[in-house]
Amino acid sequence: MKQHDIDLSLYLVTGRNLLPHGKSYLTSLEEALRGGVTVVQVREKGADTAEFVEIAKETIALCSRYNIPVLINDRIDIALASGAAGVHLGQTDMPLVLARQLLPPSAIVGVSCTTLEHARKAVEDGADYVGLGAVYATSTKDVSAPGRVCGIAGTCAMLSVLEGTGVKAVAIGGIKSTNLLRTLHGCASPTGHALDGVAVVSDIMTSPEPETAARRLAQTFRAWMALASHGPTGFLVTSEQLAQYTQEGISAAAAALVDTVRRVRPLVHHITNNVVKTQSANVTLALGGSPIMAEAEAEQADLARAPGGLLINIGTVDALDGMLAAGRHANQNGKPVVFDPVGVGATAFRRATAAKLLDTWQPAVIKGNAAEIGALADLNEVKSQGVDSLGGFKDAPDVVRSLARKHRCIVVLSGPTDYLSDGSTVIRLSNGHELLGQITGGGCILGTAIATFCGATSMTAPGTSEGVLVKGDMLLATAAATLALTIAAQHAASREGVRGQGTFLPALIDELAMLTPEAVLRTARIEVETD
C-alpha cells in the first residue's frame, strides 16, 4: 500500500502512558480499531529499542487483522525491524530524503510541520503526508515553546502550500470530538483545500471506551466529508438556498425572518462592551429576541445549551476567558457565533485578542467597519481613528469575498452601503440613515441584530445538524438583520420629533419593534453579485 491508498481520516497516535487504569494497550487498540481508526502510529517515548520493536510487532499483528496500516514514530530502524508500513518523522528526526534511502520504496513517510517553511520543505522532499500542528494546546506533548502551537490560522496557511501537490495532511494537537467539527470547518485554504484527516492521541487513549471515542470522531468526520463540498466557507449551502440569492429572494427571506424572530424568540447571548449593553439588550427585545448579557467563564457551557445566537464584541475586552469559552461551547452546540472585532486595527492587544479568539472558535459571521475589516484582511487601505473608520475600499466586494474565504464565514462590511459575502456571492444593501453612524454603538447593534437573526435561523432550519457547524443559511440571516436595522433607521430618522442622535435612538428601538415584513419587501435596496 502507498500514500494514495492510505486513509488518514482517523489517525491514532498511540500513548500507552495515557491508558486508563486496568486497560491493556492491545485491548484499547482493538476497541479503537473497531470504532473506526484508519491508521495507527506507534509512538513510544519511554521504551528501549527491544521493547519498541516488540510493541510495534504486536501492533502490526493486531492492525493487520483490520487491514489498518501501522507507522512508526521517529525510528527508521524500528520500522524496518517490525515491517511497518512507514514512519512519521519530526523536524529534528532523520531527514526525509535520507529516510527514503533506507526504507523500501513502498514505505509511507509523514513529516511534522508547524511552519510554512516546514510545509514547503516536506513537499520538496517528497513527503507522502504531513502532520500539521499543534493546532491547539495539548498536555500530551510539550508544545510550550513559542510558535509550537500554529493554530487554525497557521494550519490554513500550511494547507495553502499543499494545494495541487498531492501531499495529504492531518491536523494534530488538542483535537477531540468536541472540537472536531470546528477544526474541520476552520482548517482549509481560501480555495477550500481541506484536511484529509485528524491525528488524535488522548481523546482515544485516555478513554475507558476507546471504541465509542473513535466512533464519535469517525462519524463526525464522515458526516462532515459528506457535506464539506458545499459553499466556499464550509457552511452547507443547498441549491434551494442558492436559488434565493436574488433581489426578490433575499427581500422575501428577510421579510419572513422578521416574523420568525418574533415567533421563536431566540436567546441572544451577548459578551459585549460596556458602552452599548443596555441599548443592545433593548434592540434584541425590540426585534423579538431575548437578550442575556453573561460573561463569566463558568456559565458558558450552560448558556450554550439554550438555542439562539451568540455575539462576541471586543469593544472592551474585560472577559477574555468568557469569550473563549462561550465561542467554544457555542460551536459544540451548533449555535451561530457573530464576531464584532471592534477597533481591531487600533492596538496590538486587540489584534492579538482577535487572533486568539479566531484560533479558538469558528464564527458564523464577522461584522466590521472598513477599518476593522481592513485590519483583519491585512490591508492598509483604510485608516482608523480609535474604533471609527476613515473612508472605504476601492473594491469592497473583493475585500469581503476574500475575507469570507479566509475566515470561512460570512463577512459583513458595514458603512453607508453594507457589503455581505459568503465567499462567493456578494450582497450590497443600501438602506439606512447617516444618524445610525452617528450614535455610539450603531455598529454594535448591527452585530446584535445579526446574532438575533442568525440565532432564529439556526433554530428553525430544517434538516439534520450532523456534519454542520451551524444549521441554516447565515448569509440570508445576516442580510435580513442588516435590512431590519437599516430600514428601521430610515423610519426612525423620518419620524416627527427626531432631531438628532438623542431622539433618534429611542425612535429606532420603537421602529424595530414595529417593523413589518411588508415594509422590508417595499423598502429593501438590494443588489447581488455572484462569482
Ligand X SMILES: Cc1ncsc1CCOP(=O)(O)O
Ligand Y SMILES: Cc1ncc(COP(=O)(O)OP(=O)(O)O)c(N)n1
335 three-state secondary structure: coil
Select from 69, 133, 336, 392 the one that contacts ligand X (CB under 6 A).
133
172 binding ligand Y? (CB under 6 A): yes
Minimum distance from residue 38 beta carbon to ligand Y (Å): 12
Find the binding residues for ligand Y in span 115-144 (CB under 6 A): 131, 141
Secondary structure class of 404 (helix, strand, coil): helix
Q: What is the CA radius of gyration of the chain?
A: 25
Q: Does the protein bind ligand X through residue 107 (CB under 6 A)?
A: no
CB of 144 to ligand X, least distance (A): 12
Cell digits for 119?
510545509
Q: Is 428 in the site for ligand Y (CB under 6 A)?
A: no
- Helices 442-460, 247-264: crossing angle, 10 deg rounding: 80
CB of 80 to ligand Y, least distance (A): 18
Residue 201 interacts, among ligand Y, ligand X, none and using kind-specific CB cut-offs from 5 to 8 Å, with: ligand X
Considering only 31, 74, 359, 473, the residue that binds ligand Y (CB under 6 A) is 74
Per rule CB under 6 A, is residue 168 in the interface with ligand Y?
Answer: no
Backbone angles phi, psi at 121, to 5 degrees: -65, -40
Q: Which single residue is written with the C-alpha cell 530502524? A: 77
Q: Is 232 in the site for ligand X (CB under 6 A)?
A: no
13 forms part of the interface with ligand Y (CB under 6 A): yes
- 14 contacts ligand X (rule: CB under 6 A): no
Which cell numbers in the block locate residue 485?
436595522
Buried b (16+ CB within 10 A) or exposed e, 506-515: ebbbebbeeb
Q: Which residues contact 280 (CB under 8 A, 6 or more apart)?
A: 270, 272, 291, 293, 311, 441, 444, 445, 448
In the bound state with ligand Y, the residue whose beta carbon lies nearer, of 76 and 456, is 76
Q: Is 444 a catalytic residue?
A: yes
The residue whose grid cell reads 471592534 is: 342
Q: Among 86, 32, 96, which Cα is nearest to 62's?
A: 32
DSSP letter for each residue of 60-85? HHHHHHTT--EEEES-HHHHHHHT-S
Stretch touching ligand Y by CB under 6 A, among 52-60, 86-94, 433-441, 497-505: 86-94
Q: Of these partners, ligand X, ligand Y, none, which one is at the site of residue 74 (CB under 5 to 8 Å by kind)?
A: ligand Y
Q: Which does 504 bind (CB under 5 to 8 A by kind): ligand Y, ligand X, none?
A: none
Site string for ligand X, 138-177 (x = CB under 6 A): x-xx-x----------------------------xxxx--
Q: Does 73 bind ligand Y (CB under 6 A)?
A: yes
Cβ neighbours around 400 below 10 Å, total: 27
CB of 292 to ligand Y, least distance (A): 41
| Secondary structure (3-state) at 307 | coil
**Residue 146: count of CB within 10 angstroms of its CB:** 5
Does 375 sit behind a cis peptide bond, omega within 30 degrees of 0 on the bond before it? Answer: no
The answer to whether 411 touches 402, Cβ cutoff 8 Å, is: no
- Residue 13 or 314 having the CB closest to ligand Y: 13
Active site residues: 444
Could you list the residues that contact ligand Y (CB under 6 A)? 11, 13, 41, 43, 73-74, 88, 90, 93, 110, 112, 131, 141, 170, 172, 199
Could you list the residues that contact ligand X (CB under 6 A)? 13, 133-134, 138, 140-141, 143, 172-175, 200-203
